[in-house]
């Protein structure tokens, strides 16, 4: 039976943006743009009338800002929302607030370093990712114990690297993991699909609540115990090694699985330079980004973990990794921190 197209309603105060979004989204046969609105007041009636599956929402609009509208929407008529915001440097905090209020994804509007083509590919992918998701689903720990016995041995190392990749639902999942880790953890490298500037706000927010030092990665930054680095939005992050020192390279490059930063790029570099001294973790998110890279890590001797379906907002990336045979153990989200802690040499 053929699946019905995903009905999308676009809210943005810019007529030009509404026109571009509608044109680009309509190119995909699986998406139907059922309407547009210049602000939430117009939108309220259209939601009831058009019954969209997904809303794309600008944050800064006249009469009622996007955050106020989002809060009311999730209280009275919850549905999947993709926030599409400008690349303003102060937009990161607002975007994080939108995710906390219930938005499932955040995307940057096209800009000098972010083309309409790039935006369109990612917006279409994100709409498809969230269309069938319950917007009220939150991070959960799942069962209190793994369904199968887990061995916490055989991959301890004195030079360990932990690599984590996530997409849809990942901001909350990463927060749940990092806030439960002590300050003496091995270096942690993280790719979360987020736009430029937003990743810095995300890292700063995490740093306020974690025992670890959490920051947006800088070019050629050395990895040290107790430090977690977030890949900058719109840049790939790769692990490098010089003698006994690990460091990260931040670089441009094509989108990989429609993403920059890409989990695949990070995981492949960790497989190459850290090998058996690494642990790979793939979390909630749509698509295949990171699945093959996690397999490379496993084949290089790393230990690999996937978040389970019950605790994932979108069981896409972990599912693909499991299907490839890249995953050694699948765990509920809130068991992952304790599992990682058990690997600290000592």
Catalytic residue numbers? Answer: 167, 193, 289
CA–CA distance, 262 with 233 (Å, rounded to integer): 10
If one counts every other C-beta atom within 10 angstroms of the C-beta of residue 102, the result is 18
Q: Which two tokens stand for residue 146?
A: 């793994």
3-class DSSP state for residue 81? strand
In whole angstroms, give the CA distance from residue 178 to residue 269.
22
Do the bridges between strand 245-251 and strand 221-222 make them parallel or antiparallel, or are there none, so unpaired? antiparallel
Bridge partner residues of 229 (DSSP): 189, 215
* CA distances in angstroms from 207 to 67, 105, 186, 304, listed in the order given: 24, 21, 16, 25
Name the nearest CA neighbour of 277 among 231, 321, 236, 246.
246
CB 264 within 8 A of CB 163: no
Q: How many residues does the chain have?
A: 346
Contact 6, 54 (CB under 8 A): yes
Please state, as a whole number, how many other Cβ atoms lie within 10 Å of the Cβ of residue 277.
19
**List of residues 6+ apart from 64 with CB closer than 8 A:** 39, 40, 41
């Amino acid at each position: 039976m053929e699946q019905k197209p995903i009905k999308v309603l676009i809210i943005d105060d810019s007529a030009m943006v509404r026109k571009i979004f509608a044109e680009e989204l309509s190119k995909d046969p699986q998406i139907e743009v059922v309407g547009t609105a210049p602000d939430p007041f117009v939108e309220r009636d259209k939601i009831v009338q058009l019954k969209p599956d997904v809303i794309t929402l600008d944050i800064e609009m006249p009469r009622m800002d996007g955050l106020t509208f989002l809060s009311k929407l999730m209280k009275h008529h919850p549905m999947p929302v993709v926030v599409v915001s400008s690349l303003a440097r102060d937009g990161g905090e607002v975007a994080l607030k939108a995710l906390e209020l219930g938005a499932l994804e955040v995307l940057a509007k096209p800009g000098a370093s972010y083309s309409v083509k790039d935006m369109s590919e990612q917006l279409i992918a994100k709409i498809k990712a969230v269309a069938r998701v319950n917007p009220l689903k939150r991070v959960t720990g799942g069962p209190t114990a793994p369904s199968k016995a887990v061995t916490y041995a055989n991959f301890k190392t004195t030079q360990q690297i932990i690599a984590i990749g996530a997409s849809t639902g990942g901001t909350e999942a990463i927060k749940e993991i990092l806030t439960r880790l002590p300050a003496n953890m091995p270096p942690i490298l993280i790719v979360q699909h987020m736009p430029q500037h937003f990743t810095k706000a995300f890292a700063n927010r995490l740093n306020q609540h974690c025992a670890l030092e959490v920051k947006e990665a800088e070019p050629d930054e050395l990895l040290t115990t107790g430090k977690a680095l977030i890949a900058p939005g719109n840049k790939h992050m790769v692990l490098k090694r010089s003698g006994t020192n690990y460091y990260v390279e931040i670089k441009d490059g094509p989108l990989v699985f429609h993403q920059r930063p890409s989990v695949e790029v990070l995981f492949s570099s960790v497989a190459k330079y850290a090998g058996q001294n690494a642990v790979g973790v793939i979390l909630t998110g749509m698509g295949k980004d990171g699945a093959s890279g996690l397999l490379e890590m496993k084949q290089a001797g790393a230990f690999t973990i996937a978040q389970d379906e019950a605790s994932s907002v979108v069981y896409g990336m972990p599912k693909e990794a499991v299907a490839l045979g890249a995953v050694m153990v699948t765990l509920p989200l809130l068991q992952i921190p304790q599992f990682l802690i058990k690997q600290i040499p000592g």
